[in-house]
């Protein structure tokens, strides 16, 4: 099976702009989670989507949003970018049906730089 | 906020030696997973241990879990240069959801 893919891999934006990142899960996986990784805060959970519905949400401002399509592909959007949004954004997929005891598989990440 | 703290933050050993990393966490868990990350790339899943398990093996990896002490350890035996990476523990499964809460990570360097 193909792994989790994320596009684009690298992105440079300026403050105030918005950005959309894409994640394609492993075939058959219905859960997609997003994480932000920064040197200062480490890896932090953004949100999780399952069957096109947001099932869990982390403690991020409303500028961070996401959605999931019927084919389980997911996008996350960050509006009004701030310098502090520079980070590696990782998505992970799983079947999402085991009640939380399940391996999650991560994509290679999108590295976002905000200038 | 981080659920777990990993110890040590950085570890350098000679190739062929064993490497042990520890992870402590704060709240009850359903499962604990270990991941490896090479140079800011994606995370590679290593092993998952459930809260009712005490030890698990996978190849050169051995993971232990002590829920009474809220701690876990990852042992890599016969280390290789390719094991150089950052290692993270992640706790999850609370309330039956997929959210993982990551530790701060251990940076492991294998000296050839």
The answer for residues whose C-beta is within 8 angstroms of residue A110's C-beta and 6 or more apart is: A6, A7, A8, A9, A10, A11, A21, A88, A89
Q: Is B50 on the interface with A (CB under 8 A)?
A: yes
Which of B47, B88, B98 best tests the A interface by mutation, with the highest count of A CBs <10 A? B98
Give residue-wise pLDDT tens across range B75-100. 999 999 999 999 999 988 665 567 88
Token couple for A67 = 């959605």
Please give the Cα distance from A27 to A33 (Å, whole number).
15
pLDDT of residue B1 exceeding 90: no
Contact A101 B50 (CB under 8 A): yes
Tell me which residue of A40, A26, A73, A91 sits closest to B2, measured CA to CA. Answer: A40
For residue B86, count other CB atoms closer than 10 A to its CB: 19
Positions of chain A with pLDDT under 70: 1, 98-101
Give residue-wise pLDDT tens across range B30-48. 889 999 999 878 899 999 9
Please give the Cα distance from B29 to B51 (Å, whole number).
7
Residues in chain A: 115
User: What pLDDT does residue B99 have?
Assistant: 82
Q: Which residue has the tokens 């050993």?
A: B13
Instruction: Name every chain A residue with its beta carbon within 8 A of the beta carbon of B95.
Output: 100
Please give the Cα distance from A99 to A79 (Å, whole number).
32
User: What pLDDT does residue B75 have?
Assistant: 98
């Amino acid at each position: 099976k193909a792994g989790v893919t994320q596009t684009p891999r690298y992105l440079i934006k300026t403050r105030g702009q918005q950005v959309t990142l894409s994640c394609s899960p492993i075939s058959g996986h219905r859960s997609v989670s997003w994480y932000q990784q920064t040197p200062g805060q480490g890896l932090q959970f953004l949100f999780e989507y399952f069957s096109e519905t947001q099932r869990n949400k982390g403690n991020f401002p409303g500028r961070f949003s996401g959605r999931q399509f019927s084919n389980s592909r997911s996008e996350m959007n960050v509006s009004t970018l701030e310098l502090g949004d520079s980070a590696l954004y990782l998505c992970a997929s799983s079947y999402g049906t085991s009640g939380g005891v399940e391996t999650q598989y991560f994509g290679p990440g999108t590295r976002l730089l905000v200038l | 906020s981080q659920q777990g703290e990993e110890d040590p933050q950085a570890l350098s050993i000679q190739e062929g030696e064993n490497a042990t990393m520890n992870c402590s966490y704060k709240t009850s868990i359903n499962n604990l997973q270990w991941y490896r990350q090479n140079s800011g790339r994606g995370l590679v899943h290593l092993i998952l241990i459930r809260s009712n398990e005490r030890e698990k093996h996978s190849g050169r990896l051995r993971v232990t879990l002590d829920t009474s002490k809220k701690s876990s350890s990852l042992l890599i035996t016969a280390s290789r240069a390719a094991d150089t990476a950052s290692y993270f523990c992640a706790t999850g499964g609370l309330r039956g959801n997929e959210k993982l809460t990551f530790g701060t990570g251990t940076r492991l360097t294998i000296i050839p």
